[in-house]
Amino acid sequence: MAKSEEVKLIRTACPAHCGIDACGILAHVKGDRIVKLEPADFPDEKDKRICLRGLTSLDITYHPDRIKYPMKRVGERGEGKFERISWDEAYDIIVPKFKEISEKYSWKSIGWVLGGPGAGTTKFGAYLRLASLTQSTRVSAWGYGDAGLPCGSRIILGHQFPYMYLHGEFWQRKYPDLL
């Protein structure tokens, strides 16, 4: 009978589902796979917490449909047919498209949107640098945890936060060439 693998506890940080925050967590690792997450120990008991998004992040990490590599559509739009391509091939497709748009409309016609799981400080910084290098328009760089700002903006700021309008209008812009 084979000896069962030992579970190691590794103190780390949540995959930043909240945008910029990252709660301390203990990852239970068996072999090369995380099998459980729980709040890390802190001196003050009130800091020992992790939200449901953080606790369920393993579902995202190990989901069979998670996209981990560049993909190219091979069927009609909406068919869901894609094939894996190399990073070099992805760059060869994307870079000329960016150049074409920037020459036709200027770099300021390109807006960058970042959000969702893992849209934390590191990615936010890289995203800002890319927008800066291309002299393009920065639209949004928020994660799920920032949803409270638009919801409470009327009470806090005295007017509706403009981010709320992106969902209804941004993707319907007149010239969404890259989308």
Residues 99-114: pLDDT tens digits? 898 899 887 777 776 6
Domain shared by 98 and 161, yes or no: no
Which range, of 49-53, 63-67, 138-142, averages the lowest pLDDT? 138-142
Residues 113 and 167 in one domain: yes
- Same domain flag for 46 and 90: no
Q: Give the domain extent around 172.
A: 107-179
The answer to pTM > 0.85 is no
Q: How many domains does the chain have?
A: 3
Q: Do 115 and 84 fall into the same domain? A: no
- Does 46 map to a domain? yes
List, in sequence order, every beta strand (DSSP E) within the chain: 7-13, 24-30, 33-39, 71-73, 82-84, 111-114, 137-141
Helices (H), 7-120: 52-55, 57-61, 87-105
152 inside domain = yes
